[in-house]
Amino acid sequence: MTGPTVAALYVQRNGIYWNRPDIDAWDEQRDARLYDGSLPVVAHPPCSRWCRLAKQVEWRGGQRVGADGGTFASALANVRRCGGVLEHPAWSLAWAAHGLTAPAVSGWHLDTDGGWCCEVSQAAYGHLAPKKTWLYYVGRVPPPGLNWSNPKTGRVVTSYSRGKSNDGDGRALSSREASATPPAFAELLLSMARNSR
């Protein structure tokens, strides 16, 4: 039996990356900020302090924008150190805060530090909503071409982001559904991490 080939950081316990012999999975309890291994990584750092609503939450007396306990910085450092890919919601405020260039409208672009950035819709890989995502990839080889389509799904990650409360119209996904990584997308990210070497 072979051991893990990828470290999956900031993932859900019992989620898509969990209990697989080819993956060294790090959840909140294990504290992925402590990862100091050498495997290439797939990183899904928490996004609530960096999303487009984070400024509104802060303004209303909630947690400060970027107050994530160093999770994004740690994920970025591990991708740069070990190779692999970091995933965050499109329009993430973490990008500018950490000196990354926002992705181009379509395709990969090379960042000033040698990493590659892009925007992709997870709906193209089976997500229930058109969940726009930014990827940051570091590897010895350029990243692969992706499915750049933006399929219409009839569902939304949250209706609150569309200026409405979640009124139970059936369009808004549950928190678990919204944060879930589609199997095809997870396999793509794992493949990118493995091939980054």
How would you list the strands of the sheet with 116-121, edge to edge? 23-26, 6-9, 41-43, 84-89, 132-138, 116-121, 109-110
Find the Cα–Cα–Cα–Cα dihedral 11, 162, 59, 87, rounded to 10°. Answer: 20
The 3 state secondary structure assigned to 18-80 is CCCCCEEEECCCCCHHHCCCCCCEEECCCCCCCCCCHHHHHHCCCCCCCCCCCHHHHHHHHHH
When pLDDT is cut at 50, 70 and 90, the band that residue 64 belongs to is: low
**Strand pairing category for 116-121 and 132-138:** antiparallel
Report whether pLDDT(165) > 50: no
Q: Which of 2, 15, 45 is nearest to 194 (CA)?
A: 2
Look up residue 194 and give its amino acid: R
The pLDDT score that the predictor gives to residue 65 is: 57
Region class of 137: left (phi > 0), else alpha (psi between -120 and 50), else beta? beta
Q: Comparing 16-25, 49-58, 145-154, which segment has the lowest mean pLDDT? A: 49-58
